[in-house]
Copies of this chain bind each other. A is one copy, B any other.
Amino acid sequence: MRKILLIALVAVLASCTASQSDPKGNHPCLLLTKEGVKNIKAAKGKMPMLDVSLERLAQDAQAAMDRETCVPVPKDGGGGYTHETHKLNYYDLHVLGMSWQLSGDKKYVEKAKEIFLAYCEMYPTIGMHPIEMSPVRGMLFWQTLNESVWLVHVAMAYDCLKDQFTQDERDQIENKLLRPIAKFIMEGTPANVETFNKMHNHGTWATAAVGMAGIAMDDEELYKKALYGSDMTGENGGFVMQLDNLFSPDGYFTEGAYYHRYAIWPFVAFAQCIDHHSPELGIFAYRDSVILRSVNTLAQETYCGEFMHFNDALEKGFSAQELIYAIDIAYNADRSNKMLLTIADTYQHRVMISDAGYWVAKGLSDGEAQPIKYSSVLLKDGPEGKDGAVAIIRSEDGNSALTMKATSHGLSHGHYDKLTFAYYDAGLEIVSDYGASRFLNIEQKNKGHYTKENKTYAGQTVAHNTLVADRTSHYNGDIKISSEHSPRIAACSMDNQAFQYVSAVDSTAYDGIRMQRWLAWVELPFLQFPLIVDLLKAESSQAHEYDFPLHYNGHMVHLSVPYKRATQTMSALGDKMGYQHLWVEAEADCAEGTTTYSWLSGYRMYSFSQATTANTKFRILRSGASDPNFNLRSEPSIMFSEKCSGDRLFASCLETHGKYDLQVEQAANLTPSCVSVEVVKDDAHTLQVDYHFVDGQVLSVRVERSTSKMTINY
C-alpha cells in the first residue's frame, strides 16, 4: 500500500514539477501564501488570538529594525555570541518578511536586504566552523543541524521578500547564499550527505530546509531531492522515506516526546509547504495521515501541557514554538480536530502568522474549540509497530497518568530504561524520570551541550524506575546491542476505566534474566484515589543482586522500618553505571513483610509499599555525587536491594492519599491505607498478590502466566 502511494506520489510530482517551471508572481507560497496574507489582513481586529499574534509580530519587527545589522564570522558554540546572533538573524529575517507582506512597508524590505547582502559578503569567505565538536560540523554553526534550521527560516523570509529584490540582488542571494547553503546541507561533506539521506530527525531538518529553499528559489531539483533523497529515487532517502520510517504506525517517534517535538517541526512545516505547492499530492493523507496522527500522539504524551519524560528530555510542552507550528498546521490540515483549538487557546496563546494560524484564530474566534480528549493509549514503537511500546493509562479527568516505557532504544537520545514507569498526579510528576542532564544554551555549562553526566547518570538504568541487576545497566550500557532489541508487550487492557493494565517482557537487557512487569491502575471503592499495582518478576537460573530504584518528587515523610541517616558524612553509592552519582542519605534493613515509604508532594501524600524480606536493604538516595561541575540536579530517590539466588517477584503498590491544605490548615488521611503486600502464589502458572487495607479489605491480584492476563478481586 505504502509502495503504491509512493509511486503515485513520484508520478504526480513529476508532472507538477513540469507545470511549475515559471512560478514567478506566486510568492509567498510556503507557510504564508498570498491568500493567507489576504485573509489575515481582512481579519485584523476581529480575532483576538490573531491580534495578539500580530501585536507580537509588530514588537519583534520593531526589535529587528532597531538592531544593528550584524553578520559575524562564525566562532562560538551554542549560547555563544556568533551562534546566538545567527539565530537571531534568521528569526529577524522571517519576521521582516512577514511584516512586509502584511504591512507593505518597504522599510522591512530594506532592512532584510541589508542582512541578506551582509550574508552574501560574509558567507563565501568562510570555511568549516572552528568548533570541532559535532560529527556533522556546519559552517555558520558548529553543527549542520542549526544550518538547516537557519535555512528553513530564511527560505520563508526570502519567499516573502524576493519579489521586492532586483534580479541582481536575487542572483546574489540565491547564488552566494541560499543555494550554496542548501548544497552544503545536502552534500557539503560526507557526513552531510549521510545525514541528508538518513532516517533521523536531523535528516528531516535537512530535507525540509533544502526543499523549502527549493520552492522559494523556484528550484524544482532541490525540491525533488528533498522529497526523494540525493539520488531522487525515493529509495535511499528523502522526506517521503522519512515519513515511512521515522514514526511508528501509531505516530510514536522513537526518541520520545521531547525529540518528537523537535522532529515534528520540519515535518509539519515542509508538509504544509508541499501541500501549498502540490496540493494534489495529499501529503497530509500519506501513510494513513501519519503526520496528523503523529501530532495527536505527541499531544497524548503530555501531562498538564508538558511533555512526559522519555529518554533525553528537558522541560517543554505545548508552549514550545515547534508545537505552535504543529498544532496550527495539523488543524489547518484537518479542521474537524477541534481539540487542537483548545490546545492553542490554553497553552500557546498565539498562532503562527500563516495560513494555518489564521484558521486556528478563526476557529477560536468562532467558538469552535472542543475539550482536549486524553485517553489511555498503547503507542507502539518502530516503523512497523513491532518494537515495543509506551503505555499511558489515564484517569478520566486527566488529573493522573501512569506510564510504562518498553520501547526500542530510541537512537542516540535513548536511555537504558527497559520497563521503567512514571506516575503523574495533581499537576506534578510524582514518580519521576530524570530526563536529560543539559543546560541548553548555557555556555558556561559545557557550552550548552549535554553534560557528561547525561551519559554517566541520566541515561543509566539506575536513574530510572526499573530493575537493575548486579549494579550494571541494561545491555551493559552498550547502545549498539541495546539498539538491536526491544521488549515485547505481553498484555494490555485499557477498556475498563476502573481496571486497566499493561504488561511487557524483556529478556535481552541482561544475559540470562527474563524480566516481566505488570502495571495496573485499580480504582477501588474504599480508596480515595486509584491504586497503582506493580508486579515485576525477574527470572534467572543464577544468583543476582537486584536493585529496585524509585525516583520521586516531594519530601520524605515516613519509612515504616527504622533507618539510619547519614548525619556527619555521606558517601556515594558506587563507582560506576550511575551509582557513583547517588549519595546515600540513609540506610535501613527491611523485615519480612511489607516496607512502606511515604512522601509529600504538593497537597497529597504518596506511599510506595513493597513485599520485602529480611534480606532486603532499603536506601534513601539523592543525586549529585561524583559531579565535579555541578551538572546534576539534586533529586531524591529510594532503592530496595536484595541478593537473590533465583527468581524474585517484586510486588508493590503506589497509593495516593490524603489532603494537605496549607491555606485552610486542614489535613486528612495522611497515613496510607495499604497495610501489607502479600505474595500468595508465585509459580510457573500463576502469580497472586494480595493487598491488605486498614479496614480489612483485600485486593487480590492474579496473573495467569501463560497469557500474562491479570484479574482482580476485592
Binding site for B on A (CB under 8 A): 79, 84, 87-88, 314-316, 319-321, 439-445, 448, 555-558, 565, 567-572, 580, 583, 585-586, 598, 600, 620, 622, 624-630, 633-634, 636, 660, 662-668, 670-671
Q: Is the CB of B445 within 8 A of A557?
A: yes
Interchain Cβ contacts under 8 Å between A and B, 13 examples: A87-B665, A316-B663, A319-B663, A441-B660, A565-B627, A565-B630, A567-B572, A567-B626, A567-B627, A568-B625, A569-B569, A570-B583, A620-B630
Q: Find A660's partner among B442, B665, B666 (CB 8 Å cutoff).
A: B442
Q: Find A600's partner among B439, B634, B666 (CB 8 Å cutoff).
A: B439
Name the 7 nearest CB pairs between A and B, nearest first.
Answer: A441-B667, A556-B630, A444-B558, A565-B628, A567-B626, A570-B570, A569-B571
Q: Which residue of B lies closest to A633 (CB)?
A: B555
Q: Which residue of B lies closest to A570 (CB)?
A: B570
Docked pose: A327 CA to B86 CA in angstroms: 51
Q: Is the CB of A314 within 8 A of B568?
A: no
Taking CB atoms, residues of chain B closer than 8 Å to A663 are 316, 319-321
Taking CB atoms, residues of chain B closer than 8 Å to A443 are 667, 670-671
Q: Is the CB of A440 within 8 A of B665?
A: yes
Q: Find A667's partner among B84, B622, B626, B665 (CB 8 Å cutoff).
A: B84
Q: Is the CB of B662 within 8 A of A555?
A: no
Taking CB atoms, residues of chain B closer than 8 Å to A668 are 84
Q: A440-B667, A569-B572 are in contact. List 6 more A-B contacts (CB 8 A).
A: A314-B662, A441-B660, A444-B558, A445-B557, A555-B630, A622-B634
Docked pose: A442 CA to B84 CA in angstroms: 48
Docked pose: A629 CA to B620 CA in angstroms: 12
Docked pose: A556 CA to B630 CA in angstroms: 6
Taking CB atoms, residues of chain B closer than 8 Å to A88 are 666
Specify how many copies of this chain sit in the oligomer: 2
Q: Which residue of B lies closest to A445 (CB)?
A: B557
Q: Which residue of B lies closest to A569 (CB)?
A: B571
Docked pose: A316 CA to B444 CA in angstroms: 35
Q: Which residue of B lies closest to A671 (CB)?
A: B444
Question: Chain B's nearest CB lies how many Å from the CB of A675?
Answer: 15
Q: Which residue of B lies closest to A629 (CB)?
A: B565
Q: Is the CB of A444 within 8 A of B598?
A: yes
Q: Is the CB of B567 within 8 A of A570?
A: no
Docked pose: A633 CA to B636 CA in angstroms: 11
Taking CB atoms, residues of chain B closer than 8 Å to A567 are 572, 625-628
Docked pose: A667 CA to B630 CA in angstroms: 20
Docked pose: A314 CA to B662 CA in angstroms: 9
Q: Which residue of B lies closest to A636 (CB)?
A: B634
Question: Chain B's nearest CB lies how many Å from the CB of A681?
Answer: 33
Q: Find A84's partner among B320, B571, B626, B666 (CB 8 Å cutoff).
A: B666
Taking CB atoms, residues of chain B closer than 8 Å to A445 are 557
Q: Which residue of B lies closest to A79 (CB)?
A: B667
Q: Which residue of B lies closest to A658 (CB)?
A: B442
Question: Chain B's nearest CB lies how many Å from the CB of A75?
Answer: 16
Docked pose: A538 CA to B570 CA in angstroms: 35
Question: Chain B's nearest CB lies how many Å from the CB of A574?
Answer: 10
Docked pose: A583 CA to B568 CA in angstroms: 8
Taking CB atoms, residues of chain B closer than 8 Å to A580 are 568
Taking CB atoms, residues of chain B closer than 8 Å to A585 are 624, 630
Taking CB atoms, residues of chain B closer than 8 Å to A316 are 662-663
Taking CB atoms, residues of chain B closer than 8 Å to A586 are 630
Docked pose: A586 CA to B668 CA in angstroms: 41
Q: Which residue of B lies closest to A625 (CB)?
A: B567
Question: Chain B's nearest CB lies how many Å from the CB of A561?
Answer: 14
Taking CB atoms, residues of chain B closer than 8 Å to A665 are 87, 321, 440-441
**Most chain-B Cβ atoms within 10 A of its Cβ — which of A321, A557, A667?**
A667
Taking CB atoms, residues of chain B closer than 8 Å to A320 are 663
Q: Is the CB of B557 within 8 A of A670?
A: no
Decide yes or no: A315 and B667 within 8 Å by CB, A444-B558, A445-B557 being known contacts.
no
Question: Chain B's nearest CB lies how many Å from the CB of A375?
Answer: 27
Docked pose: A369 CA to B636 CA in angstroms: 45
Docked pose: A314 CA to B555 CA in angstroms: 15
Docked pose: A625 CA to B670 CA in angstroms: 26
Q: Which residue of B lies closest to A566 (CB)?
A: B625
Docked pose: A165 CA to B88 CA in angstroms: 75
Question: Chain B's nearest CB lies how many Å from the CB of A568?
Answer: 5
Q: Is the CB of A571 within 8 A of B568?
A: yes
Q: Is the CB of B569 within 8 A of A664?
A: no
Q: Is the CB of A444 within 8 A of B627?
A: no
Q: Is the CB of A448 within 8 A of B555?
A: no
Q: Which residue of B lies closest to A321 (CB)?
A: B664
Docked pose: A136 CA to B315 CA in angstroms: 49
Taking CB atoms, residues of chain B closer than 8 Å to A321 are 663-665
Q: Is the CB of B633 within 8 A of A315?
A: no
Taking CB atoms, residues of chain B closer than 8 Å to A666 are 84, 87-88, 441
Q: Is the CB of B442 within 8 A of A667?
A: yes
Docked pose: A397 CA to B445 CA in angstroms: 32
Taking CB atoms, residues of chain B closer than 8 Å to A79 are 667, 670
Docked pose: A93 CA to B445 CA in angstroms: 58
Q: Which residue of B lies closest to A443 (CB)?
A: B670
Question: Chain B's nearest CB lies how many Å from the CB of A166?
Answer: 33
Taking CB atoms, residues of chain B closer than 8 Å to A620 are 630
Docked pose: A622 CA to B88 CA in angstroms: 38
Docked pose: A319 CA to B664 CA in angstroms: 9
Docked pose: A556 CA to B319 CA in angstroms: 26
Taking CB atoms, residues of chain B closer than 8 Å to A627 are 565, 567
Docked pose: A555 CA to B620 CA in angstroms: 22
Docked pose: A298 CA to B556 CA in angstroms: 32
Docked pose: A598 CA to B570 CA in angstroms: 26
Question: Chain B's nearest CB lies how many Å from the CB of A458?
Answer: 15
Decide yes or no: A444 and B670 within 8 Å by CB, A567-B625, A567-B628, A568-B626 being known contacts.
yes
Question: Chain B's nearest CB lies how many Å from the CB of A315?
Answer: 7
Q: Which residue of B lies closest to A620 (CB)?
A: B630
Question: Chain B's nearest CB lies how many Å from the CB of A86?
Answer: 12
Q: Is the CB of A569 within 8 A of B568?
A: no
Docked pose: A630 CA to B566 CA in angstroms: 10
**Most chain-B Cβ atoms within 10 A of its Cβ — which of A320, A598, A665?**
A665
Taking CB atoms, residues of chain B closer than 8 Å to A440 are 662, 665, 667
Docked pose: A320 CA to B663 CA in angstroms: 5
